[in-house]
Structure 1
């Protein structure tokens, strides 16, 4: 809202300068207000030699005002649509039956959905910052690092089978898929239980 007001004031200042130029007078632009701009416009309109210019300026101001109001409505509608879409995607991410992780090159956990936390046997707050390889058998930890190295080298959407250490230290087979995080230098990983 403050941006809209500031933008509106900047636009009115520009129009005030234009009106002042048309009238051949200088205005203190630091203190120009909408009412001052309207006063200058009224003065222009009351002078026969400037009346046509003043009416044209007034019409232009009105058109721009309506355009800005329509753009504001469109922006508010777009924002509401984007917020609704984001809420849907967050809900979908959270309830997905697939374990989803965001990790860095050292496999430190930065983000995960509820399915991932359940699969690792703890809550998210406890797991964040831990290495994902800590939850894998030794061979699978190496396989995950190789997978991420390949993805980092430009091979997209790589997959491999991994053995996740279960709650009772019995391995649980998962199919892992990985890709680059489009938002940065991390990786997006999904685990799906197999077998």
Structure 2
């Protein structure tokens, strides 16, 4: 999995963009820098305000260190989030059951490798396809009924579905379980082949 935050090239690019924005030769930047230096010089030149100038400089340094610490923490959190995502992706794809996320019409939004293999396909090929077309007519009717019940508010359900023969093998069956996804926009289906 690629990461933009831990990539030294992207950090270097971000730094270049920030320095360019701050020190660029645009008229606004030149005016802003000149005005800031003039104020700091005037404060430092006067015995009455020299202490204030040093205080301002110190405060700027403290803010810089704070920002650097925040950036370090963001990089650490980003790295942890990517590692967690990779663990969950690996777990999802390595699950011993076929997992499908479908919408209310049975259109596959996502599937794992085991689910795609159950239908002798790959996950990308199944995305956007109707799960109904992968089942026998009887299995399609059962799944439609189960999706309808889940859409009406039944939290979960299960059934046995007939799967069509694939590659000359006789028809198969799978135990299917359904629940609404966490976002409430679709359904999670788990298929476990019977007798395999």
Q: Please, what TM-score do these two structures have when normalized by structure 1?
A: 0.75
Distance 1:72 1:64 in 2: 12
Residues 57, 175 of structure 1: CA spacing in aligned structure 2 closer, same or farther, 3 A cutoff? same
**Runs of at least 5 residues in structure 1 that lack an aligned partner in the other structure:** 13-27
Residues 81, 48 of structure 1: CA spacing in aligned structure 2 closer, same or farther, 3 A cutoff? same
Partner of 2:118: 119
Residues 50, 159 of structure 1: CA spacing in aligned structure 2 closer, same or farther, 3 A cutoff? farther
Q: Match of 2:191, SS?
A: strand
Partner of 1:55: 54
Aligned ranges for residues 1-195 of structure 1 at < 5 Å? 1=11, 31-33=31-33, 37-38=36-37, 40-167=39-166, 168=168, 170-183=170-183, 185-195=185-195
Q: Match of 1:32, SS?
A: helix
**Runs of at least 5 residues in structure 2 that lack an aligned partner in the other structure:** 1-10, 23-27
8 Å CA contact 2:111–2:126 kept in 1: the answer is no
Residues 3, 149 of structure 1: CA spacing in aligned structure 2 closer, same or farther, 3 A cutoff? farther
Distance 1:49 1:125 in 2: 71
The CA deviation string for residues 120-154 of structure 1, in whole angstroms up to 9 with x for no partner, is 12233433332111222323212212222232233
Distance 2:190 2:61 in 1: 54
Residues 44, 37 of structure 1: CA spacing in aligned structure 2 closer, same or farther, 3 A cutoff? same
Deviation at 1:113, TM superposition (A): 1.3
Deviation at 1:72, TM superposition (A): 0.3
Q: How many pairs does the alignment contain?
A: 178
RMSD of the alignment, in Å? 3.0
Deviation at 1:117, TM superposition (A): 1.3
Deviation at 1:29, TM superposition (A): 6.5
Residues 155, 32 of structure 1: CA spacing in aligned structure 2 closer, same or farther, 3 A cutoff? farther
Q: Match of 1:177, SS?
A: strand
